[in-house]
Amino acid sequence: MATQEVSDRFGLKEGHPPERACSRFLKWFYGEARGIPGVLEDELFAAIYERLAVKRKFSHWNYCRRVAHGIRAIRSFTANGKTPRILDAGSGFGDKTILFALSGAQAVGYEILPNKLSVAGKMLTRSQEAAGGSLEASFVAKSAFESEGPFDIIFIMEAISHIHPAEGFLSRIREILSPGGKLIITDSNRSNPLIVKALEKRVGKDLGRVEEIEGHLVANERVFSGPELKGMIEKAGFAVSLVDWQCLVPPGVFQVMPYGVGCGLDRFLSQLPILRRLGVVFTIIAEPVTRS
């Protein structure tokens, strides 16, 4: 577990709310990325950099409110003296995996795309340099289907819509999640027509089509509604404890507001029963049902 001295190097302070801890880490992570050869040359990473490090307000809130659920889960274990093992399924460029390690977990990221693993490896090396080698983080060049448990927390952000078949994967992770563990899935909401329109513009009308990438079958944006995914999770042997809706404030409106006002308004709107199911994204937290 990272000491407070190490956390200070990343701009983190003891007692930071999870959203603030995430925001401070992103500032460090993307600030460091500018100085690492080849990182910003990756087009997808550069696009994410533009959203999170430059435009910032809306994308920061979208990202950090979701990742905060993972940090809270980690803290629920560390508060009881345990270092949890967390699977970051579809770990991308490694920012979440590294942040989870910095938050006190033994973090393992599974990713199949070589360009993302390359950047993640460079960022982990830089992070370990800053942390004096104390971070328990690693990346595995395999599909999350091949992940080897047990894990105390399984975190899946913008990946369940690509894992094929999602139903089989949910059954698989039920077997590798420890008793008392937490499953956290956060993804785009199919019930929001703007999400569907944006995805169809990017990948075509046949959302969910299956392709082979790096030797693995991958679904192309098979997005779900909140109730649909909740039902799939429960069918796989989990009890859902939370469905958190967010991003009901339009990005253009959010950008012109003070950051705290935008965050507060989005939290308020997400509590309204009629509106909240139209949120851009949702997060579901579940625990494995004890088998008799």
- Does the structure show a pLDDT above 90 at 57? no
Q: Are 186 and 173 in contact (CB under 8 A)?
A: no
Dump pLDDT digits (tens) for 111-152.
999 999 999 999 999 999 988 888 999 999 999 888 888 999
Q: What is the pTM of this model?
A: 0.94
4-288: CATH, from 3.30.70.20, 3.90.1150.10, 3.10.180.10, 3.40.50.150: 3.40.50.150
Tell me the percentage of the chain whose pLDDT exceeds 70.
96
Dump pLDDT digits (tens) for 201-245.
887 888 888 998 988 888 888 999 999 999 999 999 999 999 999
Backbone angles phi and psi of 14, in degrees to 5: -60, 135
DSSP character at residue 144: G
| CA-closest candidate to residue 213, choices 122, 90, 118 | 90
What is the C-alpha separation between 155 and 82, in angstroms, rounded? 18
HSE toward the beta carbon, residue 89, CA cutoff 13 A:
32
pLDDT average, residue stretch 44-52: 89
What is the C-alpha separation between 263 and 271, in angstroms, rounded? 13
First to last CA, the chain: 35
- Residue-range domain boundaries for the chain: 4-288
DSSP character at residue 289: P
Element holding 217 (H helix, E strand): strand 216-219
Dump pLDDT digits (tens) for 77-104.
999 999 999 999 999 999 999 999 999 9
